[in-house]
Amino acid sequence: MSNKEIKLAKYAGFCYGVKRAVETAKKIKIENPDKNVYVFGELIHNTDVIHELEELGIKTLYEIPDRVQNSICIVRSHGASPDVISKLKLAGFEIHDLTCLDVKKVQQKAMELVKDGYYLVIVGKAEHPEVIAIKAHAEQFGEKILVSNDTSELKKYEEELKQNKKIGIVVQTTQRLETLNKVIEYLTSISKELKIYNTICLSTTYRQNEAKELAKENDLVLVVGSKKSANTTHLAEILCKISKTIHIENADELSNYKEIIDTAEKIAVTAGASTPDNIIDDVINYIKGGQ
């Protein structure tokens, strides 16, 4: 395997928002050794990173306790609803908000649209924590809100949408541009006024565009990152239409694809925004024969 040509994407691994969240969470614990430090929900979608944080004493919280003392709770990079933040404060937590700044911009745009009387369409996955938080922020100012990343699903609400003179769009930061464009095309055909905020973050755009070019130039693309990570799964979905693509969480899974890897001469490696460098390095070392 050592003679293979291996190309690592420039935009692979931690984006600014994830790097900021992980580094700041560690700093908070170091600066507060005598306090309990929690994150409400997984800080980022990467099991290895979550385990590392747990070893440092930063625990993941899934339910809000009635009362705590001497405790810090971190709002994760995906954000949280105003109700959750309020309940955490009432429980006695000191709050540190590490919501990605790009996600905060989406929350702000969503609130502005609803305040201005637009029927809000959030292009994204309804069950994703980022989208849940965006929707919750917007719901403070109105109820006309839909979440969808599928035009066939939106068509179920066509009559309701047509009754509104103004429709506004925001997008989950890690969504595919192709998905947004399909929603825009459909809504343009039924709306009188359409206001669009393309809130896909630049990191996602750069990562996807670069990976597409790499897929065209290589026999095989390895996408490294959590199966729960939206931006990673979208990356794999895009690339599999261009080249042979394998989505793995870490190097441990590569033995399952030994034959495919052995037969590929040119391999590109990219990774999701929540994948740390050491996991990417392990994958490259495996391909090089250094496992």
- Residue 147, token pair as written in the block: 């979440």
- What is the rounded distance in angstroms from the CA atom of residue 153 to the CA atom of residue 149? 8
Pairing between β-strand 220-224 and β-strand 266-271 as defined by DSSP bridges? parallel
The gap between the terminal CA atoms of the chain, to the nearest Å, is 11
Give the contacts of 115 (CB within 8 A, at least 6 positions apart).
141, 142
- What is the rounded distance in angstroms from the CA atom of residue 239 to the CA atom of residue 268? 11
Helices marked H in 32-176:
47-55, 82-90, 101-115, 129-138, 151-154, 158-162
Closest CA to 287 of 246, 254, 241: 254
- Residue 286, token pair as written in the block: 């495996």
- What is the rounded distance in angstroms from the CA atom of residue 134 to the CA atom of residue 82? 10
Please say whether the beta carbons of 134 and 170 come within 8 A: yes
Which among 5, 54, 130, 159 is annotated as catalytic?
Answer: 130
Active site residue 253: no
Please say whether the beta carbons of 171 and 197 come within 8 A: yes
Q: What is the DSSP letter of 91?
A: T
Q: What is the DSSP letter of 35?
A: S
Query: Which residues are marked as active site?
Result: 130
